[in-house]
Chain A
Amino acid sequence: MSRRSVLPAAAGIGLAALLMSGCTPATTSSSEQDGRLRYLIEEQEDPEFLSTIEAHIDDFEEENPGITVEVEAMPFDTMRTVLQTQLQAGDAPDVFNWGSGPSFAGALAEAGLLYDLTDAYEEYDWPIYEFAKERVTVDGKLIGIPGDLETIGIYYNKQIFEDLGIDEPQNLGDLEAAAATILEAGIIPFAVSDQEGWQAGHLLSMTLSSKVGSEGIAALVEGEESWTSPDVLESLSLWKEWQDAGYLPEFPTSISYDSGAALYYSGEAAMLPTGSWFIPEVAANTEFESGYIPFPSEDGRGIFTAGLGSGPLVAANTDNAEAALTFVDFMVSEEHGRWAIENLGTIPPYPVDTEGVEALPLLKQVIEDTATFASGDADLGTNIDVVASDAFNQAMYDGFQGIFTGQQTPEDVAAALEAAARS
C-alpha cells in the first residue's frame, strides 16, 4: 500500500488543525541558546530508520562542535496533533520535517509560525531546484526546504520490450504501438489497478501533466480553466480507450495496488504506472531489468509528474536560529544527499552527483533524469490529489472507477470534477 492514499485526507485535517494552532504563536522555545536543537521527524515503517538517521546526525555533530541535535520521531498522525499543541504551547522543536505543500508548511507560514529562510537561501546558496523552491514560496518568502522528490511515471519490463523488439517509447504514438505489440504477444500491456480508487489521481495526473504541463494543471486547480475542457476529456478518455483496446487488465477495479504490482513482477504485464517511491520494491521483486519513463505526450517524451515529501522547516520562535540554520545547511548538503540516496532510497530536491553512490541502478537513473528535468527548462507535472480538495479527489476516484466499470462516461466524470472543483 502506498502512503499516498492517506495523504490527501490527512492534509485537509492537518491544514485546519494547524491554522487553528497558528492563532497563538508562542514567544519562547523549549531550548535556550546553547546549541541544543530538537529535531522532530516522522516515524517510518523501517525499524532501523531511527538509528540510521541518528548515526547520520552524529556525523553532523562531530563536524559542528557545540551543536547537539536531539531527534524525536512520531507517527504521521500523531505528529500532526503534537506539532499543533507544541506550537501553541511554545514548546515546538527547533527544526521539524513537515510536508512542503500549501496545506502543510503553507498553512504554518500563513500563521506566522515558520522562520523566514529567504535570507538564508541567499547566504548559504542552497542549490534547490527552482520548481521545488516555488512550492515552498509563500507571499514571496521562502519558508522551508522542500522534501524529497517523488515522481510518477511508467515502469517497463526491459526484457519483454527487448524480446518483442520494442524501443523505449519516445511519444504517445510509440507507447500505444508498444501496447498493441505487447497485447498481441499475449501479455497485458499496463498493470493498472484501481480497487482502492486513489490510483485514479496518479493516472489522471500523469496523462494531464504531459498534455498541459504544470501551469495547465495549476490553471485547472485554481479554477481558471474548466475541468470539462477538451484536454481533460481526452486525458480521461484515453484510459477508457485503452481499456476497450485491451491494454489494461480485464477488471482494473477488482485489482488492488499490490495485485497490480504482482502482475508486473511476474511478467504477466509489461508496464506499471506508479511512482518513484516504488523503485526499491520493483527492484526487490523482479529478476528482469526495469526502465522508468515519464508518461509521453503526443509529440515527445512527456514530463514526470512530481510531488514533494516532508522537508525540514524551522520554527519561527527558535532560540537557536544560528544552530538551526547550520543544521538545515547540512540537510541540503551534497553529503546529506548522497547519504539519503544510499540509506533511504529517496531523491533529494537538489542535484547530487551519484558517482560512487551505492544505490539501485534504476534509482540512480531516475535521480539523473530528475536532475535533467528539474534543473533545466523542462517542466515537472503536478500530482493532482495533493493540491485538490477532498471532495474533488473523491469525485476523481469515483469517476475512474465509474469509467472502468462502464457506469460513467468520461463526459460524466469531467462534469463531476468541475462540479466538485466549484463546490
Chain B
Amino acid sequence: MDSVFTNYQILCFALTAITAPFLAFVFSLIFKKLAGAFGIVSITVSLVFSAILFFSIWQKQTFHFSFSWIKLGNVSVNIGILLNDLSVIMLLLVSFVALLVHIYSVEYIRKEALRYRYFAYLSLFCFAMLCVVIADNLFILYAFWELVGFASYLLIGFWFTKKKAVQANKKAFIMNRVGDVGFLIGLMILLSQFHTLDIETIFGAKGIIHSSFIHNGNWVSPFASIPDYWLTIAGFCFLLGACAKSAQFPLHSWLPDAMQGPTAVSSLIHAATMVAAGVFLLLRVSPLFNDVVLTTMASIGLLTAFMAATIALTQNDIKKVLAFSTISQLGFMVLAVGVKDNAAAIFHLSTHAFFKCLLFLAAGMVIHQLHHVKDDTKTKFDEQDMRNMGGLARFMPITTVVFIIAALSLSGLPFTSGYLSKDAILISVFEWASERGGVYWLFPVVISITSWLTTFYIFRVIFKTFFGDFKLPALINKKEKELHLHDPNLWMKIPTIILAVFCFGFFFALNPFSLEGSWLHHAFNLEPHAGGLLHLFVPIYINALSLVLIASAYFIYAKNKIVFTNHKSWYYQFSYHQWYFNVLYDKKLVGLILWKAKITFWFDKHIIDGIVHLSAKAILVLAEIVDWVDTHIVDAFVNGLANIVSSWSVWFKSVQNGKLQHYFIWMLFIFLSFIIYKVII
C-alpha cells in the first residue's frame, strides 16, 4: 500500500463525498432560503474529497470495500464502494462540472420562486450520480441508476406549469424505463450465472468472467452452465440499458425533448454527466460483450452519431442543435466501446463533459440575456430560436469567445481537448476496420463524414447566433440600443471561463498533438496503438476539410453569400423533422399501444367485468336459495321444536292450576297408571 491514507480514511472520504449532496438535498427542502448555499457547499465538499481520492487512487491501487446486505439462499447481495481509475476520474469529473453548474445556476435561476426545489433536485442528482460512479455492485448501481433517472425526471419537469415540460419529463422517464428493463434482465442473467453482482469479482482483472468460456455451445462459469446465446442476450440487455440512458438509437428521442428543462440542467445532466452514465455502464461491464454485441454496439453508435449530426444541421432551436450534438457525441463513445477502445471512450467522455457543458452554459447565457430583453421590452418571441439572433458577438463578447472555444473542441481542431479524444476514436475505428476489411470500411467513412458534419453544424450555430445581422430588433420593432443586451454577471461568466480553460488540450496531454502523451488516455490504454501513418493522416484530413467547412458555414450563415432555397426538399425535411422518429413513435407506436389499450379496455369491460358481474349474480341467486333454506328449513326446524316445547309447557302448566281437586285427580291418575303399568308388566 503506497497510499498516504489508510483504507479507513479512504472509505470515510468516499462516504463524505457522496453524503454531502444528499444532506444538501434534505436541508434544502427544510431551509428553503439557503438552498443554493447548501448546494454549492456540499458539492464543493464532494469535489475536495473526490480530488483527494483521485490523487491517492489514480494509477496506484484499487480500493474495494463491501459488506453483505441481503442474503437470499446462497446468493448474497453486497453493498459497498469500488474505487478504481474509472471511478475516481468520473468522481472528479462529475463533482467538478456539477460545482460549476451550481455556481452558474445561482444567477440563472435567481428569479424563480421555487428555486429551492431546483437546488434540492440538483443535489439529489449529484448524490445519485456519485453513487452510480462508486457503486461496487451492479445491484446498487441499478438502484442509483434509477434514482439518477428520477432526479432527471424532476429536473426536466422543473417548470411543471409548462405542458411541454411535463410531456418531456414523462417521455424521458418512460423511454428510460425501456432501457432499465434491459438492464434488469441483464443483471438477473449475470446473477444466475455468476451468483454475485460484484463488479470487481466478475469483471476485475482476476474476475470470474475471464475464467468462464464457451464450450460445446454452452457458456460455462464456475457456478453454472447455460446455452451460449445467453451471453449474447446479456450483452444486448446491458446495451439496451445504456442506449436508453445515453440516448442512442432507437431510444434517443427523449433527449431533445428533455431540453424543456432549465439550460443549466441540460448542461449538467443531459450533456455532461447523466447521459454519460450509459457509456460508463458499458465500460464497467465491457468484458462481458462478445463479438456480436460489440459489432451491434459499434453499428448503433455509428448510426446514432450520423443520424443526430444530420438532424443537428437543420434545427433552429439552439438547444435542440446542442441536444442532437450530444446524442451524436455519445454515439462516438458507444462506437469507441464497440471497437474495443475503452480508453478512447473514457477520454472522449471526459473531454466531451467539459466542452459540451460549456456549449450549453454559453447557450444558456444567450437565452438568459434574451429572456431579460423579452421581459424588459414586454414583447413576445422565442428566445431559443436562432432565427431571432445574429450578431450577438458585439454585445456578448465573453459568451462568444467561450462558445467558440467549446465549438473548436467539439470539432476536434488542434490544441483542443476534442482533437485528442475524437482522433483517438477515429484512429481506433480505422484500425478496427482495417483488421476486418470489407463492409467494415463503412464505419471509418461514415464516422469521418459525421465528424465533418459536426464541425459544420456547430459553426452554423456560431455564425447564426453571434455573427451576421442581429435580426431581433426588426422582429419586435425596437432599436438595438433599446435592448440593453450585454454579457451576464460573474456568477455565470466565471464557470464558463473555467470550463473554457479545460477545453484546451494541454490539460490532457503535455504535447497537444500527441494522443499517446495524454495521461488520461494512457491510463486506460492497455494495447498501445500501432502508430504510424494513421496518426498523421487521420487528423490532417479531418481537420483540413473541417476548416473548409467552417469557412463555408461562415459564407452561408454569417455573410449570406450562398443561400439555401431548398427548404422543401425531402432531405431538408427529413433532417428537420428529426428523421421522423417522433412521428413514427407518436403515430405508430403510441397509436398501436393506444389501440391495444382500447382492446384490452373493451376486453376488461365486457369480458372480465362481465364474468365478474355474472358470478356476482350467480352468487346472489345462490344466496337467495340459501336464505330460503335457512328461513324455511333450518329456522323452521328450530322454531318448530321451540313451539312444540312451549305448547307442551303450556299444557303441563295447566296441570298446576291451583285447584285442589284437579291435583287430586292427577294424583289418582298417576297412581292408577303406575299400578296398571305394574300389573301389565
Bound pair (A, B): no
